[in-house]
Structure 1
Amino acid sequence: MNILKSFFVCGLLAILISCGNSGNKEEQSTATLANEAAKGGQIEFAESVFDFGQVKEGEVVEHEYTYTNTGTAPVILSQVSASCGCTTPSYTQTPVLPGKSGEIKVSFDSNGQVGTQQKIVTIVSNADNRVTTIQLKGEVLPK
């Protein structure tokens, strides 16, 4: 009788374990497909560094960086952040299809920023090059 119970418990465990693995494989397959679908986008900037030259302290410098999706899947920017609070980025919120372009506008407030400046904006996306940067640099002259 104990042997019969042992076989029953082992059989039940085998069924439960195989069901659990089946679900994991399906989740893994779904995750793999999602990752593959996200791959293929590629961000390429027309210019990744903008030198604004010299400005007087207190002036606001604005520049628009244009990028093209040179890949095969849509690119979505998930985060665009600046290295300092004096620099404010805004960017294309909609997916950029292959062959199409998007933009990132950067505004730099030079108030209190005298001297040589190099501001870095970090872009996080679903593209193959997931993290990329652009730069704004120049010199702020005192008032």
Structure 2
Amino acid sequence: MKKLMLICAVVLGFAFTASAQTDTKPEFKFNEESHDFGKIPQGKPVTTQFVFTNIGEEPLILTNVQPTCGCTIADYTKTPVKKGDKGIITITYNAAATAPFSKGIVVTSNAKTPQKTLIIKGEVVAAAAAASTR
């Protein structure tokens, strides 16, 4: 009988511990995590916005948004994003050299997944070639 009560107590203890550990951390839900610009004319910077929603309980705070190269500029929501609210990460790519490109942008935050990488890609073509493909 004592063993049965001890087993019940242990199982009950695990159940309470598991229920007390509900994760309330913030979390991203992006509309898209990769953006394809397609063919873009050389010398004309292009911009896109990555919109996200905080689907966690606590406010989501972006601490850094770092492009992986100097040809890309990032701007982002600097205030905490409350549960259910949206934030924006704006990325501008300087289309200087003609060539295909794929660039990563590392987003650091207080989310369950503390680092997330967004991708921009496309192909920079000579200005006359870009006009003829549209």
**TM-score, scaled to structure 1:** 0.71
Q: Deviations over 1:8-56 (max 9, x none)?
A: xxxxxxxxxxxxxxxxxxxxxxxxxxxx9x9510011100111100012
Select the residue among 113, 119, 124 that pairs with 1:129: 113
Q: Give the Cα separation in 1 of the matches to 2:60 and 2:123.
A: 34
* Structure 2 equivalent of residue 65 of structure 1: 50
Q: Compare the two structures and name the one with the higher helix fraction.
A: 1
Structure 1 position 142, deviation (Å)? 2.9
Matched, 1:45 2:30: yes
Identity %: 33
- Consecutive aligned runs of 4 or more in structure 1 exceeding 3 Å deviation: none
* Structure 1 equivalent of residue 39 of structure 2: 54
* Structure 1 equivalent of residue 103 of structure 2: 119
List runs of 5+ in structure 2 lacking aligned partners. 1-20, 128-134
Over the aligned positions, Cα root-mean-square deviation in angstroms equals 1.6
1:142 partner letter: A
Q: What SS does the aligned partner of 2:78 have?
A: coil
Q: Give the Cα separation in 2 of the matches to 1:44 and 1:135.
A: 15
* Structure 2 equivalent of residue 84 of structure 1: 69
Q: Deviations over 1:75-99 (max 9, x none)?
A: 0000100011010000000000011
Matched, 1:104 2:56: no
List runs of 5+ in structure 1 lacking aligned partners. 1-35
